A and B are shown apart, each in its own frame.
Chain A
Amino acid sequence: MKRLINLTPSRPVQVLLGLLPFALLIVIYMVASDARLEINPDDKLLPSFSQMGAALERLALEPSRRTGEYVFWQDTLSSLKRLGMGIAIAASIGFTIGLLTGALPSAHAPLAPLLTTISLVPPLALLPILFIVFGLGELSKVALIAIGVAPFIARDIQRCTLEIPREQLIKAQTLGASSWQIIVRVLIPQLLPRLINAVRLSLGAGWLFLIASEAIASTDGLGYRIFLVRRYMSMDVILPYVAWITFLAFTLDWLLAQLSRCCFTWHHQGGA
């Protein structure tokens, strides 16, 4: 008998083992849901899959009677727009600040302590301020995501910049490069895959800020919807929405990983 630490399941077994917990959860849910609905057909806590399907169909495939919109898609579009804008702004600001503070000691001196301090402010505590300053519209939601995520990206990029071996910067200088050329040709190309990675890591926080701000002040969006229907205990809407958000998050992450892999092959094959 081999030691447990040396025992690696074969590939198909690994896949099966990976799917097992999901199947188990679904079965447990179905049994529990059936049991509750048996006792009380109006139970709202654990709706059956057909109930959830019906709710989703109503929201996704039938135009809303009030506005004529397909609510589910409208929510998805609004949320993704906010998230995308917030993350894009955060990534550009974070990348610029991280790059400058990492590459130029004269930018590091005034900016790094400020950056550290700002990154310690809990962004959600700023939400009321954002609502006061920017109003309840789109701007404050996008701003929350941007403000919440940018410091993390900036610090991550700063760290990555400082981790690029000094030998490379010296080498570039012996090849006659100016500071600007070093930034453009040596640092930025090597930092882009790291930026993608930082964005992937910060998407979780991005979703958190998005849903929080939509829950508080919004008229559409995925977060808005689940908090709205909570009042009616509509688990048949909330659960599919949560699953959909999870799926979107997974897809975004996967797309970014693919983007990084196809644009920066050298990075993923161990070329630093």
Chain B
Amino acid sequence: MSEQPMIKARNLWKHYGDNTVLERINVQVHAGEFITMVGASGCGKSTFLKMLLGMESPTYGELLLDDKPIPDEPDQSRGIVFQQYSVFPHLTVLKNVIIAREFEHSPLLGKLFGSARRQVHEEATELLETVGLADAANKYPHELSGGMRQRLAIAQALIRRPRILLLDEPFGALDPGIRNDMHILIRQLWRKHQLTVFMVTHDIKEGFSLGTRLWVFDKLRRDNQAPEAYGASITYDIPVGRADPEELEKLTGLHDPSPVLLRQASDS
């Protein structure tokens, strides 16, 4: 881990019109951290990811990447996997991965031919092997199961070698067994590709076991007459390598967290 933090949020606020979504976010993230984010539905986790991605910009405050404002457009330095719609339905598995390299090397047609194509083929096939999709290379996304589709989305997100990988409830729709496989996969890839990972999840167990650091998003101030007046911030920032699950259950139980969070905490 380098000395300088890679990402810094300084007094970050986000409003949508009168709706305050996020307020007073102050965090620093070093390269190589794996951050999991939990919080009630609608509290702004996806919004935070969107700001990291450059789809949304902060209303106040700064969000810095390497001490420069984060680029205000998505680019290949930050990969993303959404819960769904992440892959291209008109391309086969292999072509879904290759397309990233084609964008890179063929500005006009977005397509590669001949030896350049073969080379990219090899690279993509290798990547598909690491996510366990080599056998499905010529299938279309609609022929894949939910878990396979997310593996594809991950492979696709990794081929351009991004430094940062953003995951928005990537395994939300998967059943527990497959989810476990995906956890192992994502940890492998995180190490192998030296990624900095931000992952939103609704599964608090996942939040614990997976990353190095857990953020809980919640509103510190609350006005029941005007629920939109105050935004959420990061109320707990826990190095989960060390935390013990019961400790967190107590912590999250203290501050009237969301019903969702409570339920999930007691489930686990």
Contacts and interface: CB of A to CB of B under 8 A. Distances in A.
Contacts of A184: 109-110
Contact of B157 (A174, A178, A180, A189): A174
A266 B88 CA distance: 11
Contact of B103 (A165, A176, A267, A270): A176
Interface stretch (B9-17, B77-85, B209-217): B77-85
A269 to B, nearest CB: 6
Interface residues of A, number: 27
A272 interface: yes
A271 interface: yes
Interface stretch (B68-76, B114-122, B244-252, B256-264): B68-76
Nearest to B81: A171
Nearest to A181: B110
Contacts of B86: 167-168, 171
A46 B80 CA distance: 69
A181 B103 contact: yes
Secondary structure class of chain A's binding surface, majority of residues: helix
Nearest to B166: A174
A174 B159 CA distance: 11
B79 A174 contact: yes
Interface string B200-225: 00000000000000000000000000
Contact of B80 (A165, A171, A264): A171
Contacts of B140: 265-266, 269, 271
Given A165-B85, A170-B55, A171-B156, A185 B76 contact: no
Given A170-B53, A170-B80, A271 B100 contact: no
A190 interface: yes
A174 B84 CA distance: 16
A175 interface: yes
Interface string A112-138: 000000000000000000000000000
B66 interface: no
B257 to A, nearest CB: 29
A248 B6 CA distance: 66
A31 B91 CA distance: 57
Contacts of B157: 171, 174
B172 interface: no
A271 B110 contact: no
Given A168-B88, A184-B109, A176 B160 contact: yes
B76 A167 contact: no
B141 A271 contact: yes
B110 A174 contact: no
Interface size class of B (residues with CB under 8 A): 35 or more
Contacts, number: 91
B23 interface: no
A272 B103 CA distance: 23
A270 B142 contact: yes
Contacts of A178: 103, 107
Contacts of B103: 172, 175-178, 181, 185
A264 B91 CA distance: 11
B241 interface: no
A271 B143 CA distance: 8
Nearest to B76: A176
Contacts of B76: 174-176
B227 interface: no
A173 B73 contact: yes
B53 to A, nearest CB: 7
A174 B90 contact: no
A175 B100 contact: yes
Contacts of B53: 170, 174
Contacts of B159: 175
A172 B80 CA distance: 10
B107 A173 contact: no
The 10 closest A-B pairs by CB, nearest first: A271-B142, A173-B74, A165-B85, A176-B76, A175-B100, A167-B85, A271-B89, A272-B89, A185-B110, A181-B110
Interface of B: 53, 55, 73-76, 78-80, 82, 84-91, 99-100, 102-104, 107-111, 140-143, 153, 156-157, 159-160, 162
8 contacts: A171-B86, A174-B53, A174-B79, A174-B80, A177-B103, A184-B109, A189-B90, A266-B90
